[in-house]
Amino acid sequence: MRGDPPPNDGGSALAQRSRNHERIMSLLPFKLIVTPILIVATSLVARRWGPKLGGLLAGLPLTSAPVSVFLAIEQGLPFAAQAALGTLVGVASVGTFCLAYSMTARHRGWRLCTIAGIACFLLVTATFRMFSVGLVSGATLTASTLTAVLLALPRAVVAPPVQKPSVWDLPSRALVATSLVLLLTGAAPFIGAQLVGLLSPFPVFANVLAAFTHAHDGANASTLLLRGVILSSFGFAAFFLVVAWGLPVLGIAITYSLATLAAMLISLVTYQLDRLLA
């Protein structure tokens, strides 16, 4: 008499992958709409009110926050919380990008500045990849790095009048930002939560805005923009500190609502403090 057939583990895994694929595809239209809107809105603010305020908006988690929400829905709350911790630490890498770009901009054009900034970001990210940190140590590391970068950035710079940008300016920014969101969320199941988190704050907004500002309006304007990025990066870090702590406890809706409020409040406070100390 033949026994019962063994459970079909391969079939279960295939069914799980199919369900994950369906969830990812169901969110695809949202990813394709929200990300371009955010980058275009940020670019228009920078044109209207100046590079520093544009940088302040660019430093907010405009791509990383949607990525985190998508990860929570697609990969589960524990995965998204672990990725948020990685992102919290990764914000420090953004600070080093801004410092490397602004220092290089004193003597070089935007191309070399971009190479120097991204190389610094990747080097610091690779270093962080070798260590495991908790919420308190991660928050301390990031806050200390951002403070040091802010003190090192030149303050007394004046931006020249903004020049008229190319007709392809906004579409190219939207395309790059959207591609990053799709790449990170698509690669999430294969590269792990920590690396997804560390790479999530990749400074696509800051880099694109800084490079275009540098090319059109000069190094001083790009430095002002990157100073705004650093100021809002404190709020960026606060967002992911709340997400890493809150997701397992509070769930998606409450956690991301509190994280958004924290990011806005901290960014406003740091911006006002910088104005008072100017």
26 pLDDT more than 70: no
> How far does CA 124 lie from the centroid of its chain?
15
14 lies in some domain: no
**What confidence category does residue 245 fall into, taking pLDDT thresholds of 50, 70 and 90?**
very high
pLDDT at 25: 52
Q: Give the pTM.
A: 0.77
User: Can you give the residue range of the structural domain that contains 272?
Assistant: 31-42+52-151+168-277
What integer best gives the mean pLDDT of the chain?
79
More confident residue, 258 or 216: 258
28 pLDDT more than 80: no
The beta strands (E) that lie in the chain are given as: none
Within 10 A of 148 (CB to CB), how many other CB atoms are there?
14
Within 10 A of 195 (CB to CB), how many other CB atoms are there?
18
CA pair distance 223, 221, nearest whole angstrom: 5
What angle is formed at CA 40 by the lines to CA 38 and CA 41, rounded to 5 degrees?
65
6 lies in some domain: no
156 lies in some domain: no
Alpha carbon distances (Å) from 3 to 6, 7, 8, 11? 9, 12, 15, 19
Domain count, the chain: 1
Contacts of 250 (CB under 8 A, 6+ apart): 258
26 lies in some domain: no
Tell me what percent of the residues of the chain surpass a pLDDT of 70. Answer: 76
End-to-end CA distance of the chain: 86
30 pLDDT more than 70: no
20 lies in some domain: no
4 lies in some domain: no
53 pLDDT more than 70: yes
18 pLDDT more than 70: no
88 lies in some domain: yes
CA pair distance 9, 243, nearest whole angstrom: 33
pLDDT at 237: 94
261 lies in some domain: yes
Mean pLDDT confidence for 133-156: 88
Q: What is the pLDDT of residues 91-114, one digit of tens each?
A: 999 999 999 999 999 888 889 999
Amino acid identity, position 160: P
